[in-house]
Amino acid sequence: MDVYLDNHSTTPCDPRVLEAMLPWFTAQPGNAASRSHKWGYAARTATEQARGQLAERLGCSPKELVFTSGATEADNLAVLGVLRANRARGNHLVTVATEHKAVLDAAKHATTEGFEVTVLAPEPDGTVDPAAVEAALTDRTVLVSVMWANNEVGTLQPIERIVEVCHARDVWVHTDAAQALSTCALDVRAVPVDLMSLSAHKAYGPKGVGALYVRRGRPRIAVEPLQYGGGHERGMRSGTLPVPLIVGFGACAALFDPSEVERVRGLRDTLRDGLLAVGGVHVNGSAHRLAGNLNVAIEGVEAEALMLGCRDIAMSSGSACTSESLEPSYVLRAMGLDRDRAASSLRFGVGRFNTEAEIAYAVEKLTAKIAELRSMAHLYE
Amino acid sequence: MTVIYLDHNATTPVLPEVFEAMRPWFVERFANPSSSHPAGVEARAAIDRARAEVAALIGARPNEIVFTGSGTEASNLAIRGAFRGGRVVISAVEHPATREPALHLQRQGAPLTVLGVDGSGAIVVPDALPSDTAVLSVMHANNETGVLQPVRALADLAHAAGAVVHADAAQSLGKVPVDVGALGVDLLTIAGHKLYAPKGVGALYVRDGVALQPVIRGAGHERGLRPGTENVAGIVGLGAACARAGADLDALSARLEGQREALWARLRDGVPGVARNGAGAVLPNTLNVRFPGVSGNALLAACPDLAASTGSACHAHGESASAVLLAMGIPEPDALGAVRLSLGRSTTDADVAEAAAMLVEAWNRLHPEVSHRSR
Ligand SMILES: Cc1ncc(COP(=O)(O)O)c(C=O)c1O
Ligand SMILES: Cc1ncc(COP(=O)(O)O)c(C=O)c1O
């Protein structure tokens, strides 16, 4: 049985999402920027409807959304775009060692442009302490970037508290919510972040499209574009709009169903309990985590060996983006796990399309394989 | 009611066979190509195949292709990524995807040279380029007039000055042969949706050994030049579209040129005083014409079942003429009458006849009024 338990890496497009996208590839070819005919008008209407669907999901105005190619671009636009455009407000960024590479590498690059960056260490459970954020703020701090939910250990960050301490100091908050879109209520009225990165392919939408939410208000959050051109997306992101992908993004946002979250959480709990029953298995991270996320360290087992032994179960050691390197997860290392424990850790992402039978199969197969690997290791001792 | 789409330079429909190649990569084969499990490895292999297909169309090696999210992104990566101080040289008829990043570098202190065009729409090749030229970026074919530019001659001058050469082939690829060796370029922009691949994917050719800085930072996708989870379906589509373009390029361009000339003949016969914008070597599918006494916008508004475009952007406060046509020395009142008709794979002879009839009829309807009012 093939079981896909890697939904943090990417998710399948929901067939309903593909259905919504279909007409916009061939039958409706218009360029949303074409002003002189109805094909262009139809395409524009479609992208604006999708913008409305996403805005509704986030509780924001459609005018606060900028479509991008994904969360990587959105993170870069937030971090580099805000720092570069607001030099008059300061030169300092605060972020966390467990952020996605898109934020960390943008932050690192910012230091080469004269910006100062503070990278906070998380608590051992992966949580960021709002007091630590507050302590890191200076008169020169422009932006704090803390993800909504971590892509490896699923930790849900206390964004609301972080926003409070930052706004009290007139500092903007960006959050990478790429992992949260599939299972979290994301309401920017309830949690008034200033910028939020999203990606469709983490929430049953297509790859190649994401968005950056940019709060409108006073003072205006200026964002310097990464790419210049025809002035699309109110000048913040030029380039012909990928109509089908945007329509798919809107559809996937509209399909969000809070009742599905509990089902996913139930499957995840079954998986967790099944693996804990093996013995010598420890959960990495906090209890306050994404409904579909599980990250465990398995004593006496190399994560890579277990993955090779269970090739019909898709899971990962570390995140997909870094899975080509053999280094153990920098996220787990930043949480204080030693190399050995990090190297024996696996990430599971349960999602919409998983079934109870799949979870039962995965538990059975993993349990057997763990026992086998441990007994082999024993032989060599 | 027939509807006729003659705006293929704005964007093209995805070819059905291209979509069929893409389809499995949304729902069934959805894995992340960076994942080490078998499904991820399969997605990686699909990207590599597409990379080879794109490379083959332009005479490049697969490892010289970097996938992006659009032509605009590719040109930004080329111009901003290659820039390390020195002068930037572009032409007066560049697409905003080239012009705007160049102007951004100028705002940051880089000297900028803008090469002019002649009356036919071709960039005037100077005797030499300034010795401090660091980046030359010119288009292979203009999006409004279709005029093919002297890329090779300009590239040689730029290389003599030690510059990196970028060409924007968004419009030419799939319509005329594009060979990076023959053009002598270091970097070349590809826009998927202009050649029957989907919107949301583009590519940059980066000649081996040319060092670029990424614009976006993150995990190491696309050799670190373009991080972000790959748009697998889109990339597969771009590969399939390039393979198709290479398979029937000559036959397609010959057919389009014939239809384009038939369209022109009908307009010339039906509209006294109509004139063509752009001359010399022009893309086979592009016809840019100016209609006397009417604005292009008004004319197209009177043809609701015809999709075409005016070179001009419609601003909040009235119309402004195309900067490309103005740069060619066409007087503003004449330039306002311009309409761009761009043919494509699905265009039929009947479409051409009908489009011409619509335009002639609309012009007849509008023109007397206009001339009456202006009297
Ligand atoms: C938390 C987080 N941020 C950003 C990204 C990057 O998103 P994308 O693949 O859309 O560029 C990912 C996934 O790779 C992620 O998990
Ligand atoms: C000549 C030229 N260059 C670049 C572009 C931009 O490409 P994209 O629409 O993929 O951003 C276009 C089309 O808009 C174009 O016509």
Residue A59, phi-psi category: left (phi > 0), alpha (psi -120 to 50), beta (remainder): left
pLDDT of B313 > 70? The answer is no
pLDDT value at residue B373: 44
Nearest Cβ partner for A36 among B5, B200, B297: B297
Query: Kind of pairing, strands B65-68 and B202-206?
Result: antiparallel
Query: Catalytic residue positions of A?
Result: 321
Residue A90, phi-psi category: left (phi > 0), alpha (psi -120 to 50), beta (remainder): left
> What domains can you pick out in chain A, each with its CATH number?
3-9+258-380 (3.90.1150.10), 15-254 (3.40.640.10)
Catalytic: which of B124, B314, B350, B357?
B314
A112 interface with B at CB cutoff 8 Å:
no
B40 interface with A at CB cutoff 8 Å:
yes
pLDDT digits over B134-183, tens only? 999 999 999 999 999 999 999 999 999 999 999 999 999 999 999 999 99
Average of pLDDT values for A326-333?
A: 86
Average of pLDDT values for A206-224?
A: 96
Among A103, A228, A354, most B C-beta atoms within 10 A, so best to mutate, is A228
Q: Nearest CA of chain B to the CA of A17: how many Å?
A: 9
Complex confidence, ipTM? 0.95
Check residue A122 and report its DSSP letter. Answer: P
pLDDT value at residue B1: 54
What distances in angstroms separate CA B122 from CA B27, B84, B117, B159, B334, one per listed residue? 46, 28, 5, 20, 19
| Ligand positioned closest to the Cα atom of A321 | 1
pLDDT value at residue A169: 97
Q: How far apart are CA A277 and CA A77, in angstroms?
A: 44
pTM: 0.96
pLDDT digits over B342-368, tens only? 999 999 999 999 999 999 999 999 986
B217 with A29: Cβ contact below 8 A: no
pLDDT value at residue B188: 98
Among A41, A100, A227, most B C-beta atoms within 10 A, so best to mutate, is A227
A 15-54: CB under 8 A from B = 15, 17-18, 21, 25-27, 29-31, 33-40
pLDDT of B230 > 70? The answer is yes
| Ligand positioned closest to the Cα atom of A349 | 1
What distances in angstroms separate CA A184 from CA A1, A100, A292, B181, one per listed residue? 29, 18, 11, 51
Task: Provide the pLDDT confidence category of residue B3 given band limits of 50, 70 and 90.
Answer: confident
Kindly list the residues from chain A whose CB atom is less than 8 angstroms away from the CB atom of residue B39: 2, 4, 314
Q: How far apart are CA B369 and CA A283, in angstroms?
A: 79
Query: Which secondary structure element, helix H or strand E, spans residue A281, and what is its range?
Result: strand A281-283
pLDDT digits over A271-304, tens only? 999 999 999 999 999 999 999 999 999 999 999 9
pLDDT value at residue A326: 62
Does residue A176's CB lie within 6 angstroms of at least one atom of ligand 1? Answer: yes
What distances in angstroms separate CA A199 from CA A181, B88, B249, one per listed residue? 8, 35, 37
A 58-77: CB under 8 A from B = 68-73, 75-76
Query: Does residue A219 have a cis bond before it (omega within 30 degrees)?
Result: yes
Find all residues with CB under 8 Å of B163, minimum gap 6, and list them.
B86, B89, B129, B133, B134, B135, B136
Does residue B117's CB lie within 6 angstroms of at least one atom of ligand 2? Answer: no
Retrieve residue B273's tokens: 């005083």
Does residue A322's CB lie within 6 angstroms of at least one atom of ligand 1? Answer: no
Burial class (CB in 10 A: 0-12, 13-18, 19+), B268: middle
- The answer to whether B182 and B152 are in contact (CB under 8 A) is yes
pLDDT value at residue B203: 98
Does residue B171's CB lie within 6 angstroms of at least one atom of ligand 2? Answer: yes
SS3 A321: helix
pLDDT of A323 > 70? The answer is no
- The answer to whether B187 and B207 are in contact (CB under 8 A) is yes
pLDDT of A352 > 90? The answer is yes
Q: How far apart are CA B70 and CA A227, in angstroms?
A: 10
Nearest Cβ partner for B228 among A18, A73, A108: A73
How many Å from the N-terminal Cα to the C-terminal Cα in chain A? 33
Ligand 2 closest atom vs CA A240 = 9
Retrieve residue B184's tokens: 């002598």
Residue predicted with more confidence, A324 or A143: A143
Cα–chain center distance at A375: 37
Task: Provide the pLDDT confidence category of residue B131 given band limits of 50, 70 and 90.
Answer: very high
Looking up tokens 């007397």 gives B368
Q: How far apart are CA B98 and CA B195, in angstroms?
A: 19
Query: Which secondary structure element, helix H or strand E, spans residue A172, and what is its range?
Result: strand A172-176
Looking at ligand 2, which residue's alpha carbon is closest to its atom 9?
A240
Kindly list the residues from chain A whose CB atom is less than 8 angstroms away from the CB atom of residue B12: 29
Cα four-point dihedral sign A52, A58, A61, A62: negative
With a pLDDT cut of 90, the percent of chain B lying above it is: 92
B283 C-alpha vs ligand 2 centroid, how far in Å? 15
pLDDT value at residue B318: 58
pLDDT of B190 > 80? The answer is yes
B35 with A316: Cβ contact below 8 A: yes
B222 C-alpha vs ligand 1 centroid, how far in Å? 15
Q: Nearest-CA neighbor of B275 among B320, B331, B342, B315?
A: B331
pLDDT digits over A11-70, tens only? 999 999 999 999 999 999 999 998 889 999 999 999 999 999 999 999 999 999 999 999
pLDDT of A325 > 60? The answer is no
Does residue A349's CB lie within 6 angstroms of at least one atom of ligand 1? Answer: no
Average of pLDDT values for A346-366?
A: 98
pLDDT value at residue B372: 45
B14 with A72: Cβ contact below 8 A: no
pLDDT value at residue B118: 98
Q: Nearest CA of chain A to the CA of B104: how many Å?
A: 8
- DSSP β-bridge partners for residue B133: B87
Q: b/e for A55-67, b at 16 or more Cβ within 10 A?
A: bebbebeeebbbb
* 3-state SS string for chain B: CCCEECECCCCCCCCHHHHHHHHHHCCCCCCCCCCCCHHHHHHHHHHHHHHHHHHHHHCCCHHHEEEECCHHHHHHHHHHHHCCCCEEEEECCCCHHHHHHHHHHHHCCCCEEEECECCCCCECCCCCCCCCEEEEEEECECCCCCEECCHHHHHHHHHHCCCEEEEECCCCECCECCCHHHHCCCEEEEEHHHCCCCCCCEEEEECCCCCCCCCCCCCCCHHHCCCCCCCHHHHHHHHHHHHHHHHCHHHHHHHHHHHHHHHHHHHHHHCCCCEECCCCCECCCEEEEECCCCCHHHHHHCCCCEECECCCCECCCCECCCHHHHHCCCCHHHHCCEEEEECCCCCCHHHHHHHHHHHHHHHHHHHHHHHHHHC
B95 C-alpha vs ligand 2 centroid, how far in Å? 7
SS3 A153: coil
Find all residues with CB under 8 Å of A342, minimum gap 6, and list them.
A297, A328, A329, A332, A333
- DSSP β-bridge partners for residue B112: B88
Residue B51, phi-psi category: left (phi > 0), alpha (psi -120 to 50), beta (remainder): alpha
B319 C-alpha vs ligand 2 centroid, how far in Å? 22
Ligand 2 closest atom vs CA B139 = 1
SS3 A54: helix
B215 with A227: Cβ contact below 8 A: yes
B 134-163: CB under 8 A from A = none
A12 with B30: Cβ contact below 8 A: yes
Does residue A157's CB lie within 6 angstroms of at least one atom of ligand 1? Answer: no
Cα–chain center distance at B40: 33
pLDDT digits over B48-77, tens only? 999 999 999 999 999 999 999 999 999 999
pLDDT of A310 > 90? The answer is yes
